[in-house]
Amino acid sequence: MIGNVALTLALLSAVFSVIMYFLNYRGYKNTLAPARISFHISAIMVLAASALLLQAIMTHQYQYRYVYNYSGSGLPLGLLMSTFYAGQEGSFMLWTLFSSIVGLVLLDYTSKRGDLEQRVMMVYGICLIYLLVMVNPLLKSPFIYIWSQPDFIDLKHINSAYLTLPALQNFLFSDPQSGKQFIQVGPDLLAILKTNNVPLDKFIIEGRGLNPLLQNFWMQIHPPMLFVGFSMAAVPYSFAMAALIKDEYNEWVKQSLPWLLIGTMVLGFAIMLGGYWAYGVLGWGGYWGWDPVENSSLVPWLIAVASIHTMLIQKKTQDKSNNDKLNAGRFVKTNLILSIFVYILVLYSTFLTRSGILGDASVHSFVDPGMMVYLLLLIFLLFFGLLGLGLVFYRWKYLTENFSYEENILSRELALFTGSFALIASAIIILVGTSAPIFGQTVELKFYNELNLPIAIIIGTLNGLSIILKWKTTGKKELLNGIKVPMIISLLLTAIIFIISSFENFMLVILTFSSIFALVVNAEIVLKILRRKKNHAGAYIAHIGIAVFMVGVAATAGYTKNEQIDLVKGEKVELWGYQMNFAGYQPIEGGKKYVFNVEIKDGDDIKVAAPVMYIAEFNNSLMREPDILVGLTKDLYVAPVSYDEVNPSNGGQTVNMKKGDVIDYRGMKIEFTDFVLPEDMTAMMSGGKFKIGANLKVTYNGKTYNLEPFMENSGGQQEFHTAELQEADLKIDLANMNATGGEITIVLQSPSSENIPIQPPKEVLTVDVSIKPFISLVWLGVVVMIIGFVISASRRSKESLA
Amino acid sequence: MKNKYIFGGTIIIVFLGLMIYLFTQTNVQYESSFVKVMASGKTVKATGSWVKEKGYQLDKRNKTFSFYIQDENGNLMKVVYKGAMPNNFESSTSVVVTGKYSDGIFYATDILTKCPSKYQEQSVQQAGA
């Protein structure tokens, strides 16, 4: 209850703060202090509400519906804390929390810079109001009691001490199908609990628990980082709006840049952590599946990266000696629009993933949040979009008259601008593909891969070229000199890779070439710079990272091999030069899960891959966790599919027969007389559905029987049908047919044979094995890129604080 | 013409053109009527529910997983999927299969299962009815 009060107060004081900032900007002198105080109150209330939610989770207060639905007892501390943001309410809460903290830092920063505070905090305050509206007690507050709405709760989650209360008996239900018992909670039950003096926080003693897919290390890191990134996306928006409000475009770039860099770094890192999570733990096979949830956070990131580049140009092209208002630098309009779009796209991402509109399109599961939330998400998206772009439109005439420039064709400005547009093109493509489900459509993954490949090539090339090109203009000779050495080195390297690996996809060869080119150019610069100005190396290091990343992407995309194999315990299987052996399984974690040991022998080296499978109680379904043998040049990825104990066929005899052959089998004569061909031969020719069988004449005890095992084929799918002769205790399986060669392979069995000793069942583990070459470069590239971002952000922060 | 418009504009126009072309080539329609699924012969995403009474078959030899699904009007369709049974299949309320229909069988390349968020509530209601 106190939580809801805190959230309501936070909302009210945030609204008050925005109004006060607005009035102060319009000239009302004594409103600045109230604006600041109420912003602080709002932030303190959000902190308090977050602390209360955390406390409710830590102390298992299952009377809150949110805690009941997403948390549970028996979780280790880290995972228990991460149930804070396991559901929609809590993740909005986390976003609000981070936004409040970022807001406090932003307030401190802007308050030292004239009237910047009023303009920036006014806009940022509105962004905060959006989140506070979402978590208000009428919508998605995590502090709503479970009895506020009728719901059924598993009886085993209820404190059994109170179940004997006679008044409760009317609320008990049982489901004959599953044998489970439930209690109906709701306002009526609450009234009864109160009249019987049942302590409300002791009535429900267990929660539904955390989804097992989320129960791993990355759950504690990935979502918080993502929401820090989301929170920081509102900052460049606020700075851009602040510039538009005052109609002055000089200062904001310098001020906004460090915030943008840090936000982009955190968001990018969060996205790739998600990729690593999907690859290493969830067993989705790869690091990127173009899933709507992944895509919708990638799109704002791409735009943020594009805007970093154009903002840098604007900053660089400002004349430092000239304080004139019109000396704002290049790409003023582009920067305003991109900064606004970063935040709008974060909101759009939220709309796509939170409104339930993508219901059928994603592997992530979505809860339908109800019409009200859907509408509000849409309204806020439109509001912030119209507010931002409307203001740009309002200033458009002034902007075009004063900030239109021409760039030289051989300038770094133009190269960076073109690179940014390549990023924008990629963002648009991903956005369209991801939004398609709104119109009842969806695209195949090919759509993303084929379109982004040429863009990646353009970006790779510009990554190198833009650094060779000088600011303003470059002589043709200079360009040739700069390009010569890296070009030769990368051509040679690509040629070597091409020969060694026999690339089949030509586009991937070009991508490799352009990435290596970028790598060489940037590495050259870094080596030069590191001797002199270390803090200037950030951008180049980040670019080396992205180049390494792209080489890794090209290698894994072009060379991943994948095979599903059955491993019978004790029987070795050869695959790609490895010898694989299923060595059995053991229970782990107190018998909750099973680990399956697959010995993989590569030459003399034996390693054990240990994928895990278990049945999760949470949703009563099979969970599979892959295991990866990480190598420098390739990962061997072993994902479990199924485990079976197969009873071997009891002593069947396999026989090859030609037409007219007669064999003896346990005193029977079996003759293969003829094939039974389909009546309609056209179906067979056209690959349609048809049956083809073998006629077998069996003589037993002087009687003759005709048996006809057959194969049914439809669209390349073959099904074999057995024929049985009960009198003779004979079963004939058709194993193979070769109609043109006039040959069949049959398996003869005695269904009831008791004289044959029973063999122990075979243990069969089916696994999906894949080789992912150079996926290590993908992760290495990301890490290097993040290091570059950190150096860059610290340099720009110092500049902007100066 | 300004250089930046030429460069930026070319990239955007070329890729928008490519995108529209590829979109028409790779788009997959959601279809909840199996009559239409069977008639179209194109790759579609058919949405329906698993027919529990008919069970499912795991074919070890061909590594396929097959089952029947049903649309809103009760039309049945056999689905054959090359691969393993997906997680949560048995507790799913609805299934989205991506693939093509030919000769009486829907060949799926992808299966997505949707699980009820509050299956307990539903099962109780069914039991009460």
Residues of chain A with pLDDT under 70: 177-178, 283-285, 359-369, 502-503, 619-620, 646-654, 679-688, 714-718, 738-741, 751-760
Tokens at B103, concatenated: 């000769």
Q: pLDDT at position A427, please?
A: 93
> Cβ contacts (< 8 Å) between A359 and chain B: which residues?
114
Q: pLDDT at position A715, please?
A: 55
Measure the CA–CA gap between A223 and B52, rounded to whole angstroms.
37
Q: pLDDT at position A130, please?
A: 93
Closest CA to A702 of A671, A676, A667: A667
CA atoms within 13 A on the CB side of A644: 13
Between chains, do A717 and B105 touch, taking CB under 8 Å as contact? yes
> Cβ contacts (< 8 Å) between B28 and chain A: which residues?
441-444
Between chains, do B29 and A441 touch, taking CB under 8 Å as contact? yes
Tell me which residue in A458, A621, A688 faces B90 most closely, judged by beta carbons: A621
- The 10s digit of each residue's pLDDT in B102-120 is 877 888 887 877 655 433 3
Tokens at A558, concatenated: 């072009």
Chain A segment 626-685 residues within 8 A of B by beta carbon are: 641-642, 644, 646
Measured N-to-C along each axis, helices A88-111 and A32-58 cross at an angle, to the nearest 10 degrees, of: 150
> Cβ contacts (< 8 Å) between B84 and chain A: which residues?
564, 641-642, 766, 768
Measure the CA–CA gap between A675 and A686, rounded to whole angstroms.
20
State percent of chain B over pLDDT 90: 0
Q: What is the ipTM of this complex?
A: 0.75
Q: pLDDT at position A800, please?
A: 83
Write out the DSSP string of A388-439.
HHHHHHHHHHHHHHHS-----TTSHHHHHHHHHHHHHHHHHHHHHHHHGGGG
Contacts of B56 (CB under 8 A, 6+ apart): B50, B65, B66, B67, B85, B89
> Cβ contacts (< 8 Å) between B43 and chain A: which residues?
444
> Cβ contacts (< 8 Å) between A428 and chain B: which residues?
12, 15-16, 19
Contacts of A161 (CB under 8 A, 6+ apart): none
**Are the beta carbons of A606 and A580 closer than 8 angstroms?**
no
H/E run at residue A670: strand A668-676
Sign of CA dihedral A87, A89, A95, A97: negative
Which residue out of B80, B114, B124 would a mutagenesis test of the A interface target, given it has the greatest number of A Cβ atoms within 10 Å? B124
Chain A segment 1-30 residues within 8 A of B by beta carbon are: none
Closest CA to A585 of A593, A571, A595: A595
Q: Give the angle A478-A482-A485 at the CA atoms, nearest 5°.
A: 145
Give yes or no for A59 touching B (CB within 8 A).
no
| Mean pLDDT score, B1-5 | 69
Closest CA to A207 of A57, A412, A20: A57
Tell me which residue in B45, B63, B85 faces A442 most closely, judged by beta carbons: B45
Question: Using a CB cutoff of 8 Å and minimum separation of 24, what contacts does A482-490 make?
Answer: A485/A520, A485/A524, A486/A517, A486/A520, A486/A521, A486/A524, A487/A517, A489/A516, A489/A520, A490/A516, A490/A517, A490/A519, A490/A520
Q: Give the angle A706-A708-A714 at the CA atoms, nearest 5°.
A: 165
Between chains, do B62 and A718 touch, taking CB under 8 Å as contact? yes
CA-based nearest distance B129→chain A, Å: 11
Helices (H), A59-181: 65-70, 77-82, 88-111, 116-134
Helix (H, G, I), strand (E, B) or coil at B16: helix
Written as one letter, the residue type at A583 is A
Q: pLDDT at position B95, please?
A: 81
Tokens at B22, concatenated: 């590829």
How far from chain centre, in Å, is Cα A291?
Answer: 6
DSSP code for A156: G
Burial class (CB in 10 A: 0-12, 13-18, 19+), A560: middle
Q: Nearest-CA residue of chain B relative to A764?
A: B60
Q: pLDDT at position A214, please?
A: 85
Largest separation between any pair of C-alpha atoms in chain B: 74
Characterize the bridge pairing of strands B76-82 and B105-114. Answer: parallel
Measure the CA–CA gap between B99 and B113, rounded to whole angstroms.
15
**Is a pLDDT exceeding 50 seen at residue B125?**
no
Q: pLDDT at position A760, please?
A: 66
Write out the DSSP string of A712-773.
EEETTEEEEE-EEETTTTEEEEEEEEETTTTEEEEEEE-TT--SSPPPPPEEEEEEEEEEEE
Helix (H, G, I), strand (E, B) or coil at A38: helix
Between chains, do A444 and B26 touch, taking CB under 8 Å as contact? yes
**Are the beta carbons of A784 and A515 closer than 8 angstroms?**
no
Write out the DSSP string of A332-401.
HHHHHHHHHHHHHHHHHHHHHHHSSTTTTT-SS------HHHHHHHHHHHHHHHHHHHHHHHHHHHHHHH
Backbone angles phi, psi at B4, to 5 degrees: -70, -30
- The 10s digit of each residue's pLDDT in B72-90 is 777 888 888 887 777 667 7
Measured N-to-C along each axis, helices A222-246 and A332-354 cross at an angle, to the nearest 10 degrees, of: 140
- The 10s digit of each residue's pLDDT in A206-254 is 888 888 888 888 889 999 999 999 999 999 999 999 999 988 888 899 8
**Are the beta carbons of A541 and A526 closer than 8 angstroms?**
yes
CA-based nearest distance B51→chain A, Å: 17
Q: pLDDT at position B123, please?
A: 32
Give yes or no for B24 touching A (CB within 8 A).
no
The CA–CA distances, whole Å, from A176 to A182, A539, B53 equal 11, 65, 18
**Are the beta carbons of A659 and A683 closer than 8 angstroms?**
no
Chain A segment 404-423 residues within 8 A of B by beta carbon are: 406-409, 414, 417-418, 420-422
Which residue out of A337, A414, A747 would a mutagenesis test of the B interface target, given it has the greatest number of B Cβ atoms within 10 Å? A414
Between chains, do A174 and B47 touch, taking CB under 8 Å as contact? no
Q: pLDDT at position A753, please?
A: 56
Between chains, do B102 and A715 touch, taking CB under 8 Å as contact? yes
Q: pLDDT at position A309, please?
A: 92
Chain A segment 543-582 residues within 8 A of B by beta carbon are: 564, 566
Which residue out of A180, A408, A455, A622 would a mutagenesis test of the B interface target, given it has the greatest number of B Cβ atoms within 10 Å? A622
